Amino acid sequence: MKLLILGTGGMAAAHARAFGAMPGVEVAAACDVDADRAAAFAKTHGIAKSFGSLDDALAAGGFDAVSNVTPDPIHHPTTLKCLGAGKHVLCEKPLAESCALAEEMTDAAQKAGLVNMVNLSYRNVPALQKARELIAGGAVGEVRHIEASYRQSWLVANNWGHWNTDPKWLWRLSSKHGSRGVLGDVGIHILDFATFATGLKPVSLQARLKTFDKAPEGKIGEYELDANDSAVMSLEFGNGALGVIHTSRFMTGYANTLKLHVFGTKGAVELDHNPGWTRLRLCGGEDVHNQAWTDVECPPVKTNFHKFAEAVASGKNGEPDFAHATELQRYLDACFEMETSKAARI
């Protein structure tokens, strides 16, 4: 696979490092609307070519796949252009700003017969894959109740920088800058985490989204701080199980933590994923009678980057794909609809 990395900001380095270390893969070019940034990125990562526009990169050619690491609202137009030029695409999450736009991207990729995947990066967590295996294997019986949260605290803590002065945080608080708040940014991850682990799809949901007053008149410079800071969903799943999924940037004591509890008729699993450590525990068998938990070993798993390279090599689409990301987008749209209409079915 010869790859173009499109968008050379913060997250692109992870793509360059992962693909750069993969046998059979060449990161052939880097592209950013900031041509100097693309050139510096190419130099840092030993990439032969750099471009200041996607049109120039496509005209020059020399690659068969694209890693799209542009900001959220840019995914849709640039991915359609890449697919139109016959390139396989790995796109960053969230796939688009709405389900309708995500559907358009899915249709275009499927019609063109091109590999289309989305970097829902927590799929790379071995404990998530193991939790799915345990639940599918019947370790908890029939799932009855799910509790999941994605916890960040950068609106309180300063260890990731100062949210009220740094543009990399300020744009995430402003819908005019393409943000759909904490729900769009990391809510999508925890929705994927919970539904992937359980293999269950929500059939209805209720949601509350909240934007707190954080600055005089809700503005800092060009940034209107109108995107949601906290989101709470209550859901019913296809098998009748209920769940609560929530996320906030005010969860003090947690920099970046995903927690998942799945309770069934015969047992429960608990997954705690944090920077630097992860724990998966099971309470099952006779242990359900004394609430004893056992840590579960989790073997390494293939990353989305590896799965994308394999999909391009084989010509067979990989997971998670655009169709799945579109479904997640439908849940997000339902949350926003719920906020305005107070009732939504999905």
Footprint of ligand NAD (CB under 6 A): 6-12, 31-34, 37, 54, 69-72, 74, 78, 92-93, 119, 121
Residue 92 vs 333, nearer CB to ligand NAD = 92
Residue 141 vs 178, nearer CB to ligand NAD = 178
- Tell me how far, at minimum, the Cβ of 275 lies from ligand NAD, in Å: 12
Residues facing residue 279 across a β-bridge:
272
Residue 12 vs 173, nearer CB to ligand NAD = 12
Residue 282 vs 307, nearer CB to ligand NAD = 307
SS3 for 105? Answer: helix
- Tell me how far, at minimum, the Cβ of 288 lies from ligand NAD, in Å: 35
- Tell me how far, at minimum, the Cβ of 56 lies from ligand NAD, in Å: 11
- Tell me how far, at minimum, the Cβ of 263 lies from ligand NAD, in Å: 27
Number of H helices and number of E strands within the chain? 11, 16
Cα 89–chain centre separation:
15
- Tell me how far, at minimum, the Cβ of 222 lies from ligand NAD, in Å: 15
Residue 58 vs 269, nearer CB to ligand NAD = 58
Residue 50 vs 230, nearer CB to ligand NAD = 50
Task: Identify the burial level of 96 via C-beta atoms within 10 angstroms of its C-beta, where 0-12 means exposed, 13-18 middle and 19 or more buried.
Answer: buried
- Tell me how far, at minimum, the Cβ of 242 lies from ligand NAD, in Å: 28
Residues facing residue 338 across a β-bridge:
none
CB 138 within 8 A of CB 267: no
Residue 11 vs 244, nearer CB to ligand NAD = 11
Our CA dihedral for 41, 45, 51, 53, rounded to 10 degrees, sits at: -60
- Tell me how far, at minimum, the Cβ of 35 lies from ligand NAD, in Å: 10
Q: Pairing between strand 242-248 and 143-152?
A: parallel
CB 83 within 8 A of CB 104: no
* Residue 9, CB-side half-sphere exposure with 13 Å CA sphere: 11
Q: Where are the beta strands (DSSP E) in the chain?
A: 2-6, 26-31, 49-51, 65-68, 88-92, 116-119, 143-152, 202-210, 219-220, 223-224, 230-237, 242-248, 256-264, 267-274, 277-284, 294-295
